[in-house]
Amino acid sequence: MREVELAIIGGGSAGMAAARGAYENGVKDILIIERAKEYGGILEQCIHNGFGLHTFHEELSGPAYAEKYYGLIKDIPGIRFEYESAVMNIGDDNVLTVQNQEGYEKIKAKAVILSTGSRERSAGAIGLRGDRPQGVYTAGTAQQYLNKEGFLVGKRVFVLGSGDIGLIMARRMTLEGAEVVGVAELMPYSNGLARNIKQCLEDFDIPLYLSHTVKAIHGKKRLESISLIAVDENRKEIPGSEQIIPVDCLLLSVGLIPENELIEDLGIEMDGRTKGSVVDSNYMTTREGIFACGNALHVHDLVDYVSEEGYKCGRAAADYIHNGKETQEKNKSVLHKGISYMVPQYFYKGKDIEFMFRVTGIYKNAKIHVWGEGFDKHLPQLSLVPSEMVKIRLRKEDLEHVNGEIHWEVEE
Amino acid sequence: MNLICIRCPRGCHLTVTREGDEVNVTGNSCPRGIEYGRSEMINPERTLTTTVAIISKDHRRLPVITSKPIPKGRVLDVVKSLKGVTVTAPVHMGDVIVKDALGLGADIIASRSIE
């Protein structure tokens, strides 16, 4: 059986950053297991620009970001990539069953990092009513077809959901000659970045229907039309507001879900909100030696944040490889009004900790109230929206007297 | 004029006013916002990303980007002008694929390498 110090599952932005972090913290035997033919993960199909302002201080396309990041690690002998190689199973003592070009192999690692990214929610996942005609795609699938293969999947397109991939694809398909007739968002606010509403929809006069959804799709073999319907403040369809819009293509941009099939049977504690694993402030899951980062842990807004998190996760995995498991008791974040999730869910004292979370609604000039034994903070925030992840760093001095838990809420 | 800055994911809400040649931008968090507000008022520009065909072992499309922003009204024309372009691997990130596209002063650049 092959043995490595650190196995990283997935060679996208999180995995590459984790390798860099672990290497810089003293691990010299790192294997990145990647199921595709190349590094980069989802970045390779995200050809638009806007990536990398934090990491490289310039605006890059997705593929360029991946190539630049790869450039930081490609000449390090202690980091090896194995492509077209998929982990089938994680067994006891971190023994991975890997299917690769040679066949089937067992690889034992002192620590494992899950950087497997996320998947898109599909028509089935949102219970879309109607048949399943040709012409209904997730936005990311349409993106892959267009940007990697050169196929335009529709000529008259409607987009359900205002997630960033859907907005980006509305522009992309318009540029390639399709007519994008509208984008519907169930919520009264957009889920995408404001800049994408501007440069992907407004630039091309594509209407955004807030508080609307697609009630049903019509067509047997090929999609022929959709029924667009308005919803009230409780997201209930408003009778009589229905309109039929003829289209040959519906793109779904209704959210991403961390991909965690590999660990489903391992008994690792999962977070019902993030759909990722529960981790401590060292990014370790509730199973010793298994770590998680990037979109596999929780869905991020920016690749730069994924790289930051991956890097920190890699460093923490290196600490574990050298020094073993943290011996102090875990503390936990308890969430109250306005906070939808928090990562990490558990933390150890003695270090500054960056908490990442999302809020449940739109707040202007609100405060984040965080308190526990020995500290009580009210942190003013100009603007809080669910589509933007919030990051708050608490200093080790703040947390010094914490005894088991701290509390979080949005204070209006 | 109220604008959302598109120069970074933060998306600042800008207020842009113009008096003669003087353009005033407020609401920005960095100098890029001023730059964007001015340009959007006087001559709106966009960086274009798209793909061209490539002949290589594993890839069919090469992602490309304009070397600098081009006038917003010419974006579709440039995409159309690239329909017939086919390159052959190897290509390196930063290679010029089309020089001075449609005479707009911007080159079409490979935004990744393909061996």
- State pLDDT tens for residues B81-109: 999 999 999 999 999 999 999 999 999 99
In whole numbers, what is the pLDDT of chain A averaged over residues? 95
Q: Which residues pair with A98 in a beta bridge?
A: A87, A105
3-state helix, strand, coil in chain B (%, to 5): 20, 35, 40
pLDDT in tens, A106-149: 999 999 999 999 999 988 878 888 888 999 999 999 999 999 99
DSSP A222: B
Contact A158, A182 (CB under 8 A): yes
Q: Which of B47, B59, B111 sits opposite A64 (nearest CB)?
A: B111
A61, B50: Cβ pair inside 8 Å? no
Q: Which pLDDT band, with edges at 50, 70 and 90, does A64 fall under?
A: very high
A301 reaches B (C-beta below 8 A): yes
With 80 as the cut, is the pLDDT of residue A395 above it?
Answer: yes
Q: Which pLDDT band, with edges at 50, 70 and 90, does B47 fall under?
A: very high
| Assembly ipTM | 0.92
Could you give the 3-state DSSP secondary structure of residue A397? helix
Q: Which pLDDT band, with edges at 50, 70 and 90, does B12 fall under?
A: confident
- Positive or negative: CA dihedral A118, A121, A124, A130: negative
B113, A37: Cβ pair inside 8 Å? no
Asked which of A40-49, A118-127, A167-176, B83-92 is least confident by mean pLDDT, the reply is A118-127
What is the pLDDT, as a whole number, of residue A126? 82
With 80 as the cut, is the pLDDT of residue A255 above it?
Answer: yes
Closest CA to B47 of A49, A410, A168: A49
What is the pLDDT, as a whole number, of residue A140? 97
What is the pLDDT, as a whole number, of residue A266? 92
Closest CA to A203 of B71, B62, B112: B71
Could you give the 3-state DSSP secondary structure of residue A69? helix
What is the pLDDT, as a whole number, of residue A388? 87
Strand order in the sheet with A243-246: A212-218, A225-230, A243-246
- Most confident among A60-64, A187-191, A380-384, A388-392 (mean pLDDT): A60-64
Q: What is the mean pLDDT of residues A76-93?
A: 96
Q: What is the mean pLDDT of residues B15-19?
A: 90
Using a CB-CB cut-off of 8 Å, the residues of chain A touching B72 are: 203
A194, B13: Cβ pair inside 8 Å? yes
A175, B75: Cβ pair inside 8 Å? yes
Asked which of A95-109, A283-297, B4-18, B34-48 is least confident by mean pLDDT, the reply is B4-18
Q: Which of A48, A53, A67 sits opposite B112 (nearest CB)?
A: A67
B53, A150: Cβ pair inside 8 Å? yes
B11, A194: Cβ pair inside 8 Å? yes
Q: What percent of chain A has pLDDT over 70?
A: 100
Give the pair of three-digit tokens for residue A215: 């009630």
Host H or E run for residue A377: strand A375-384
In angstroms, what CA-CA distances link A398 with A351, A352, A373, A401, A402?
Answer: 10, 9, 9, 8, 8
pLDDT in tens, A219-234: 999 999 999 999 999 9
Q: What is the mean pLDDT of residues B10-29?
A: 88
Give the pair of three-digit tokens for residue A268: 């690792």
Asked which of A160-174, A240-254, B29-43, B98-112 is least confident by mean pLDDT, the reply is B29-43
What is the pLDDT, as a whole number, of residue A190? 87
What is the pLDDT, as a whole number, of residue A66? 98
Contact A133, A223 (CB under 8 A): yes
Using a CB-CB cut-off of 8 Å, the residues of chain B touching A65 are: none
With 80 as the cut, is the pLDDT of residue B9 above it?
Answer: no
Decide: pTM greater than 0.80: yes
How far is B65 from B112, CA to CA, in rounded Å? 10
Chain Cα centroid distance, residue B77: 13
How far is A48 from A37, CA to CA, in rounded Å? 21
With 90 as the cut, is the pLDDT of residue A380 above it?
Answer: yes
Host H or E run for residue B37: helix B31-42
Q: What percent of chain A has pLDDT over 90?
A: 92
Contact A1, A106 (CB under 8 A): yes
Q: Which pLDDT band, with edges at 50, 70 and 90, does A176 fall under?
A: very high
Host H or E run for residue A120: strand A118-120
Position with higher pLDDT, B2 vs A348: A348
Chain Cα centroid distance, residue A198: 23
Taking only Cα atoms into account, the Rg of chain B, rounded to an integer number of angstroms, comes to 17
How far is A119 from A117, CA to CA, in rounded Å? 7
B21 reaches A (C-beta below 8 A): no
Contact A167, A192 (CB under 8 A): yes
Distant-in-sequence, close-in-space partners of A137: CB < 8 Å, separation ≥ 6? A145, A153, A249, A250, A251, A252
Q: Which pLDDT band, with edges at 50, 70 and 90, does A197 fall under?
A: very high
